[in-house]
Amino acid sequence: MATAEFEKTDILKLADQDGQFRRKVSQFRNFISSDPSSPFPAEKDRYVVYINLGCPWAHRVNILLHLKGLTSVIPIIIVDCQLVPNGWSFTGDDYSATADPLYGFKYLRDLYLKADLEYTGRYTVPCLWDKKNETIISNESSEILRMLYSEFDAFVPEDRRESVKPLLPKHLQKEIEEMNEWVYNTVNNGVYKTGFATTQEAYDEHLHVLFASLDRLEKHLEQPGHSPFLFGEHITEADIRLFTTMIRFDAAYVTIFKCNLKMIRYEYPRLHDWLRRVYWDEGEESNCGAFKKTTHFDCAPNAIIPAGPLHNILLP
């Protein structure tokens, strides 16, 4: 494809002119259904998901596939962790293939343009691809997360199905969705609003909102019924969505994104305990360590892995 076709989007431009980082709405919003007559029915080996191991949004989907035992149903294709001007690439580094195994592409952007030649958005992961129709189902992590565990239940081992061990129990659905909303806006995306701000005003605004929400999470974990996981005895969707930000907080966001008012390991004892518990759980609740085995501290910008901070938050 001609170089000119890729000059529509400056993928490295982050903040708007007022200094605020505003995440763009994902443009591919199809939905896989368990209904065999739907345009995109749940089927084995029809779909693949593109991720990079360092991305918190892609990490959500990686956890889910391991947690539910779906990695043999929906294969994972890994791109390099280093973002270059042409977007995510296949280099053979950071566990990635040397080329896209489906089409031989060198860049994820080629896949986006195969789905829509007029596409002008960002080339993001996770990206759920339909091999049959050769199109992108979705590049919105929260929607991919939910469709995988709700619509592929028939492919999940019986003891991990939603009817047995739900990630979104009906009696907790309202509370979980309310938490998902404010955690996304102020924590998951809040670290980016803070770190990508280009004015002092924007930085100050989002930094204090972020830490107010961390304070709120700490108080949530103090309440009866909110341990050992966010909503009691079992892992829910809320734990997955929060974990991928918290596991990166002290090691990355405190320094790189200047989210440095407090650290999880020192100022948030209950949140710290929750994080360690989720990470180290290698029992039935996490399907033998779905959180730990999908966390890769060896994927870092410029391949330089930070030595600190001390002490290690992940010591059992």
Does the structure show a pLDDT above 90 at 40?
yes
The per-residue pLDDT for 315 is 65
Neighbours of 117 (CB within 10 A): 9
Name the band, by pLDDT with cuts 50, 70 and 90, for residue 174.
very high
Whether 47 sits among the annotated catalytic residues: the reply is: no
Does the structure show a pLDDT above 90 at 24?
no
Name the band, by pLDDT with cuts 50, 70 and 90, for residue 2.
very low
The per-residue pLDDT for 119 is 93
User: What is the mean pLDDT of the segment spanning 164-191?
Assistant: 98
Which of the following is catalytic: 112, 119, 149, 192?
A: 192
The per-residue pLDDT for 17 is 74
The per-residue pLDDT for 302 is 65
40 touches 137 (CB < 8 A): yes
Looking at every residue in the chain, the average pLDDT score rounds to 91
The per-residue pLDDT for 240 is 99
Lowest-pLDDT choice from 42-56, 192-206, 274-288: 274-288
Whether 55 sits among the annotated catalytic residues: the reply is: yes
Does the structure show a pLDDT above 50 at 13?
yes
The per-residue pLDDT for 11 is 37
CA 119 to CA 98: how far, in whole Å?
A: 25
Q: Which of 86, 82, 89, 76 is nearest to 126 (CA)?
A: 76
Domains in the chain, CATH or no CATH each: 3-160 (3.40.30.10), 170-303 (1.20.1050.10)
HSE, side-chain direction, 13 A CA sphere, residue 68: 33
Does the structure show a pLDDT above 60 at 112?
yes
Which of the following is catalytic: 50, 55, 119, 127?
A: 55
DSSP string covering 76-102: EEE--SS-BTTBSB--S-TT--SS-TT
Query: 217 vs 180, 184, 274, CA distance in Å?
Result: 12, 13, 11
CA 2 to CA 213: how far, in whole Å?
A: 46
Report the binding-site residues for glutathione: 88, 122-125, 140-141
In what helix (H) or strand (E) does residue 132 lie, and over which residues does it extend? none
Name the band, by pLDDT with cuts 50, 70 and 90, for residue 255.
very high
User: What is the mean pLDDT of the segment spanning 73-101?
Assistant: 93
| Helices (H), ranges, 116-199 | 141-151, 173-183, 190-195
DSSP string covering 31-87: --BS-TTSSSB--TTSEEEEE-TT-HHHHHHHHHHHHTT-TTTS-EEE--SS-BTTB
The per-residue pLDDT for 7 is 39
| Percent residues over pLDDT 90 in the chain | 78
pLDDT digits 0-9 by tens, 275-307: 999 999 988 888 889 999 999 888 766 667 777
Report the binding-site residues: 88, 122-125, 140-141
Query: Which tokens go with 238?
Result: 């809320």
